[in-house]
Amino acid sequence: MWGSTLLGYVGIDTIIEQMRKKTMKTGFDFNIMVVGQSGLGKSTLVNTLFKSQVSRRSSGWSRDDKIPKTVEIKSVSHVIEEGGVKMKLTVIDTPGFGDQINNENCWEPISKYINEQYEKFLKEEVNIARKKRIPDTRVHCCLYFISPTGHSLRQLDVEFMKHLGRAVNIIPVIAKADTLTPEEKTEFKQRVRKELEVCGIEFYPQKEFDEDMEDKSDNDKIREAMPFAVVGSDKEYQVNGKRVLGRKTAWGIVEVENPNHCEFSLLRDFLIRSHLQDLKEVTHNIHYETYRAKRLNDNGGLHPISSSSDTQESNL
Amino acid sequence: SSGGGPQGHRSYQQKNLEGYVGFANLPNQVYRKSVKRGFEFTLMVVGESGLGKSTLINSLFLTDLYSSEYPGPSHRIKKTVQVEQSKVLVKEGGVQLLLTIVDTPGFGDAVDNSNCWQPVIDHIDSKFEDYLNSESRVNRRQMPDNRVHCCLYFIAPSGHGLKPLDIEFMKRLHEKVNIIPLIAKADTMTPEECQQFKKQIMREIQEHKIKIYEFPETDDEEENKLVKKIKDRLPLAVVGSNTIIEVNGKRVRGRQYPWGVAEVENGDHCDFTILRNMLIRTHMQDLKDVTNNVHYENYRSRKLAAVTYNGADNNKSKGQLTKVDTVEGISPLAQMEEERREHMAKMKKMEMEMEQVFEMKVKEKLQKLKDSEAELQRRHEQMKKNLEAQHKELEEKRRQFEEEKVSWEAQQHLLEQQKLDASRYTLPNQKKGKNIDSFNKAVLNVLCMSLQH
């Protein structure tokens, strides 16, 4: 392929602007799942991330609700808008995870849900008359909340991430990080990262999907800093003349967006400001493709289904 | 034990003393004796790993019970729940305290935590059993009290409520040991969150009818006020720390955060001081008393009421006395009757079984005998047949022989006849007669010889 120098301004670079306009018009979907024991601040964190009351808690569920006897999957969708860009954000909550006395296989309902979304998408894709825009309910990102014990990962954490690391992008976060002093935080993070490595758990951003050197160096930095130790809050306080999101204790105010206090800003920038699109792409190009290949190989080829009849697929 | 004068009986007359007698010195004597003996206290800590149990124990007793050489329960990762004891002797102001801390590493840490409370229950029961045995011995000079006097249960600071595991554990142990629930790592929560959390927990404790340790009411008004204040702050939210930090010129135990220092002994920050004062300074003896008078007695009466008819004899031979509580009267006797009936039923069943077995054996033997009899019969028949066959054979032979004999005689007769006929025709030649006789004799001989063949 030979390159030719342009003799004048053609206007090819306006394609970026065209894409931007299109994206703004169509908007996009983002599906985020939160997994962790009850009381780790999942709902609060999601609200803080998207600076609005988008979690299940804000949509009518109260704190005093009983812990369900099995893991349930509850999703809530909102449309949020910023700078002309519309995003349909779906937060998928998993109440009951890890809360029972016997938590054997409590990740199975979650795994089933994730695969069901892939299946839905696959069915739509395989249709003869396809929809113009296939609704994307696939889980783009799974925030896994680690309890800040200060010691190491719990057996349940390892089991979950082992079973689901290959099906969805898992981003582990250390919840309620205001429990840990800075030294404890560093030690804990190191120990957790070592344990993840020993168990062979690949969290997002996965090393194997780095596309080029630039990606690799950026992602390496992020991987070194993970898991992020976060604090969430939806209350504002006055600190040094500014209004900040924080938690007020008797010995001081924990500022959520202060990088000296916790790594919430790092998480937010990583998740929303730089890697949001990449999360979707990895989900579509890698996790979904893996699922699709497996399905097609197992079934000996899926036949296109006409949109009028919706035959039941064989069970997985 | 404690107590002052007459308890509520109006029948005792109060007399005034005319001078100083000196029995006001009794408490001092008791005190001196106790101090000489020293005190013992067993404290159990239960909770998931990473809730700050070791740090709290170190803070409570201001000693490094757990350190890098002997790490706390969370550092000893166990596959199943273990129960481990560590003893430490602390001395203060001439008073000696033998403190035993019972750990439960591995509690609530597995994926499947069903029955993780069972080792704890077993441990507590075994200590009660030891005490019961040593109480029943003949020689009771040395009676160490290793019973668990208090169980500190650590609740994770989720902010929502109790977990199913918490409820299950407390329900199973509230009648065996004094449970004091604590909210661990209380510096995770803001004051409002803490308040709400405490209310929620107390609500759930009442809902599930869990009996946590109750602070006793006293006659003293002042003390009662204090007790009420403590009760309002239950469950106690604690923070532990072994590091000393400088705050406003003072050296305090605390945790240093970028946004401030959480002080362990500051009443506004957490309830640690209340816990320490209550556990060590005011209610240690009461915890022991409640353990002895309530939990231990429950165990004891349940154990002794279950003494069986046979069990009584066994226990006697082991040198233990079994007291049948006459106040309870009916239940142990009914129990014994029940046991006896059971025993009889068992005996009957065994008897029936043995009979069945016996019958079966008899049948088998009979069958065997029948079989061998049939066998003998068969052989007998066979032999008889053989014999008959032989007999027939012989008969046959004899008949043949007879037949031959007859034919040979007939032939002889024929020869004789021929000889006679031959001699009639040659009468004149008498000389020839002799010759004919010899000729006939020779013919006879030839005939005999041919017959013999």
Closest by Cα among A116, A99, A118, A119 to A35: A99
Give B319-357 pLDDT, tens digit per residue. 334 444 434 445 667 778 888 888 999 999 999 999 999
What's the average model confidence in pLDDT over B272-290? 87
Q: Is pLDDT above 60 for B217? A: yes
Q: Find where tokens 């030979």 sit.
A: A2
The pLDDT, as a whole number, for residue B315 is 45
Give A195-212 pLDDT, tens digit per residue. 998 998 888 888 888 878
Residue type, A157: D
Torsion, Cα A14 A15 A21 A24, to 10 degrees, reads: -140
Flag if A251 and B50 touch (Cβ within 8 Å): no
Residue A111: exposure state from Cβ atoms within 10 A (0-12, 13-18, ≥19): middle
The pLDDT, as a whole number, for residue B73 is 60
**What ipTM is given for this predicted complex?**
0.80
Chains A, B: CB contacts within 8 A come to: 106
Cis ω on the peptide bond leading into residue A227 (within 30° of 0)? yes
Best of A43, A71, A181, A245 to substitute, by most chain B Cβ atoms within 10 angstroms, is A181
**Any CB–CB contact under 8 A between B176 and chain A?**
no
For chain A, the average pLDDT equals 84
Taking the C-alpha atoms of residue A46 and residue A233, their distance in angstroms, rounded to an integer, is 9
Give B240-260 pLDDT, tens digit per residue. 888 888 888 888 889 999 988
Give B380-424 pLDDT, tens digit per residue. 999 999 999 999 999 999 999 999 999 999 999 999 998 888 877
Half-sphere exposure of B436 (CA within 13 A, CB side): 16
CA-based R_g, chain B, Å: 54
Taking the C-alpha atoms of residue A155 and residue B334, their distance in angstroms, rounded to an integer, is 50
Could you tell me how many helices (H) and strands (E) chain A has, helices first? 9, 9
Chain B CB contacts of A178 under 8 Å are 187-188, 257
Q: Find where tokens 């409002």 sit.
A: B192
Flag if A252 and B75 touch (Cβ within 8 Å): no
**Any CB–CB contact under 8 A between B311 and chain A?**
no
User: How would you write the pLDDT of chain A (316 residues) with one tens digit per residue?
Assistant: 566 777 788 888 888 888 888 877 778 889 999 999 988 989 889 888 887 776 665 544 444 456 677 788 988 888 888 888 888 889 998 988 988 888 888 899 999 999 999 999 998 888 888 887 888 899 999 999 999 988 888 889 999 999 998 899 999 999 999 989 999 999 999 999 999 989 988 888 888 888 788 888 888 888 888 899 999 888 888 888 888 889 998 888 999 988 889 899 999 988 888 888 889 999 999 999 999 999 888 876 555 444 444 444 434 3
Give B343-352 pLDDT, tens digit per residue. 999 999 999 9
Chain A, nearest residue to B191 by Cα: A249
